[in-house]
Chains A and B, each alone.
Chain A
Amino acid sequence: MNRINKIFKEKKNNILSIYYTAGYPGLGDTVAIAAALEKAGADMLEIGFPYSDPVADGPVIQASSKLSLDQGMDLDLLFEQLKELRKTVTIPVLLMGYVNPVLQYGVERFCKSCAEVGVDGCIVPDLPMVEYEEFYKDVFLKYGLSNIFLVTPQTSTERIHKIDSLSNGFIYLLSSSATTGQNLQVSDTTEAYFSRIADLKLNNPTMIGFGISSKETFDKACKYANGGIIGTAFVKAIAAGNLDENIEAFMTKFTS
Chain B
Amino acid sequence: MNYFVNEKGYYGDFGGAYIPEMLYPNVEELRQNYLKIIGDAEFQKEFHALLKDYVGRPSPLYLAKRLSEKYNANIFLKREDLNHTGAHKINNTIGQILLAEKLGKKRIIAETGAGQHGVATATVCALRGLECVVYMGEIDIQRQAPNVARMKMLGAKVVSAVSGSKTLKDATNEAMRDWINNPVDTHYIIGSVVGPHPYPDMVSIFQSIISEETKKQLIEQTGNDQPDYVLACVGGGSNAMGMFYHFINDENVKLIAIEAGGKGVDTGFSAATTFLGKEGVLHGSRSILMQTADGQVVEPHSVSAGLDYPGIGPQHAHLFKTTRAEYVSVTDDQALNAGLLCTQMEGIIPAIESAHALAHLERMKFKGGENVVVCLSGRGDKDMDTYMKHFGF
| B-binding residues in A (CB < 8 A) | 51-56, 58-59, 62, 66, 69, 74-76, 98-105, 125-128, 131, 149-152, 154-156, 159, 174, 177-179, 182
Q: A52-B297, A100-B297, A152-B21 are in contact. List 6 more A-B contacts (CB 8 A).
A: A51-B295, A53-B169, A101-B295, A103-B280, A131-B18, A150-B22
A-B CB proximity, top 10 nearest: A104-B295, A101-B295, A74-B294, A125-B20, A150-B21, A154-B25, A52-B296, A100-B295, A56-B20, A55-B176
Chain B residues positioned under 8 Å from A178 (CB to CB):
22, 180-181
User: Do B281 and A126 touch (CB < 8 A)?
Assistant: yes
Q: Which residues of B contact A98 (CB under 8 A)?
A: 281
CB contacts (< 8 Å) of B21 on chain A: these are 125, 149-152, 155, 174
Distance between Cα atoms of A131 and B17 in the complex (Å): 9
Contacts A53-B173, A127-B18 given; indicate if A100 touches B181 (C-beta within 8 A).
no
| Docked CA distance A150–B293 (Å) | 28
Q: Select from chain A the residue with minimum beta-carbon distance to B17.
A: A128
Residues of chain B contacted by A102 (CB below 8 angstroms): 295
User: What is the CA–CA distance of A103 and B181 in the complex, to the nearest angstrom?
Assistant: 27
Contact at A55–B294, with CB atoms within 8 Å? no
Q: Pick the contact of A131 from B16, B294, B295, B297 — CB < 8 Å?
A: B16
Chain A's nearest CB lies how many Å from the CB of B299? 9
Determine whether the beta carbon of B294 is less than 8 Å from that of A104.
yes
Q: Is B334 an interface residue (CB 8 A)?
A: no
Chain B residues with CB under 8 Å of A131's CB are: 16, 18
Chain A positions within 8 Å of B281 at CB level: 98-100, 103, 126
Residues of A close to B163: CB separation below 8 A = 59, 62, 66
CB–CB A101/B296 < 8 A: yes
With the chains together, A52 CA to B20 CA distance in Å?
Answer: 16
A36 and B279 CA atoms in complex are apart in Å by 39
Q: Is B24 an interface residue (CB 8 A)?
A: yes
A102 to B281, CA, bound (A): 10
Residues A105 and B294 in contact, CB atoms below 8 Å apart: yes
B28 to chain A, nearest CB (A): 9
- B293 contacts which chain A residues (CB < 8 A)? 104
Bound Cα distance A98, B294 (Å): 12
Within the complex, the shortest CB–CB distance from B173 to chain A, in Å, comes to 5
Residues in B with CB closer than 8 Å to A150 are 20-22
* Residues of chain A within 8 A of B283, CB atoms compared: 53, 55
Smallest CB–CB gap between A64 and chain B, Å? 13
Interface presence of B177 (CB below 8 A)? yes
Instruction: Report the minimal beta-carbon distance from A101 to chain B, rounded to whole angstroms.
Output: 4
Least distance between B21 CB and chain A CB atoms (Å): 4
What separation, in Å, do the CA atoms of A105 and B293 have in the docked complex?
8
- Given A53-B169, A126-B281, A182:B20 Cβ within 8 A: no
B180, A177: Cβ atoms under 8 Å? yes
**Could you tell me the distance between the alpha carbons of A58 and B178 in the complex, rounded to whole angstroms?**
10
Q: Is the CB of A55 within 8 A of B180?
A: yes
- Least CB distance, A193 to chain B, in whole angstroms: 13
Q: How far is the CB of B276 from chain A (nearest CB, A)?
A: 15
Say yes or no: is B129 at the interface (Cβ < 8 Å to chain A): no
Interface assignment of B112: CB less than 8 Å from any CB of chain A: no
- Once the chains are docked, how many angstroms separate the CA of A179 from the CA of B18? 16
Minimal Cβ-Cβ distance residue in A for B298 = A52
* Shortest CB distance A208–B (Å): 14
Contact of B20 among A62, A104, A126, A159 (CB under 8 A): A126
Q: Closest CB of chain A to B11's CB: distance in Å?
A: 15
Which residue of A51, A103, A152, A182 is within 8 Å of B296 (Cβ)? A51
Residues of A within 8 A of B296 (CB): 51-52, 69, 74, 101
B294, A75: Cβ atoms under 8 Å? yes
Q: Which residues of A contact B173 (CB under 8 A)?
A: 53-55
Interface mask (B276-293 → A, CB under 8 Å = 1, otherwise 0): 001111111000000111
**Which of A74, A98, A102, A104 neighbours the largest number of chain B CB atoms within 10 Å of its CB?**
A104
